[in-house]
Amino acid sequence: MKFWNRLVLGSLVLTLVLGVCVGPAAAASKKKKKEEKKSEQVVRHHERSSSEKRPIDGLNLSGKPGYFISDTAETLRQSQIAGTAHLTFDTWGSVFQIPVGVSYGITDKLLVNVNTSFYSAGGASGVYFLNFGGKYGFGNVLKNSDNNLKIAAGLDFGIGPLSNEIYGYSAFAFDPYGVCTLTLPDGLQLNGKLGLYVQNYSANEPTFNGTTIVNESVGFSYSYFQLNLGVAYPFDKDLTGIGELAVNGEVYGATGGTPLLVGIRTGHDVQFQALAGLDLGGTVGLFLGGGISLFSE
């Protein structure tokens, strides 16, 4: 009987000792994992705003990493989601737009994007083109250098207008492009993009066949090169200035204007930006806009 009492007592003591030793160790291990995870999130959050001076990476009107019109060679992190919404007005044609776009990082180098816009001009209004595509970033191609030169290539497609009330035609377009972004040690950033926009569209035109007027489907196609040049400079970690010239930039749907823009960008996970300039694509017009962008962790 004493043997069993001692055995039970010994078991209780052993259980108590193990609980006292293992409990704090497990709690400490759990706390350490939480701290490591939190530290990793902080590192990711600040990786683009570290002590190295560099412009704020944001989204263009299409919701892709870029300036205002053009892309840059930046991409998103794997599984990261970013979205944006803007208001723009171009006095050339009195064009009012609400462009929205979303991008998703499939990997750290490959992203996909979809964007569209509400469009109003000349008495026509509705949802304009639906654009979708992807971009692949090759990363920094300068090794053992203080300069950072990133290059990327992308391909976008567009269909629309989605609203029949807009000019009564339908089109399909594609736009392959390449882009390079050079960041200097002092934070000055230079950006260049070269693309080729190709569109095929069809419309019903009234035609007199000798006796009556009938609608006949007529197809057209056209293409033009796009050259976008830009510069950005970080005044401090929370404010970046941007200048951009987008020759044949897609400032609205399929029409290639040529905006010369300057503006500012602020924030990180939640960003705000404002832009103003001239549209040199036809009769010189004033181009104004602003918007908000959101980034997931």
Domain range summary for the chain, segments of one domain joined by +? 1-45, 58-295
User: 10 Å Cβ neighbour count for 284?
Assistant: 12
| Helices vs. strands in the chain: H and E counts, helices first | 1, 17
What's the pLDDT at 47? 42
| The listed CATH number (2.40.160.40, 3.30.930.10, 3.30.70.20, 2.40.170.20) that belongs to domain 58-295 | 2.40.160.40
What's the pLDDT at 122? 80
Token look-up 């990327």 returns 152
CA angle 53, 270, 63 (to 5 degrees): 90
Coil, helix or strand for 2? helix
| pTM recorded for the entire structure | 0.78
How far is Cα 261 from Cα 280, in angstroms, rounded to an integer? Answer: 11
What's the pLDDT at 5? 45
What's the pLDDT at 214? 65
How far is Cα 83 from Cα 293, in angstroms, rounded to an integer? Answer: 6
Tell me the average confidence (pLDDT) per consecutive run of 10 residues in the chain, 297 residues long. Answer: 43 43 47 49 42 88 96 97 96 90 98 95 88 97 93 96 80 96 97 94 72 74 91 96 88 66 97 95 86 96
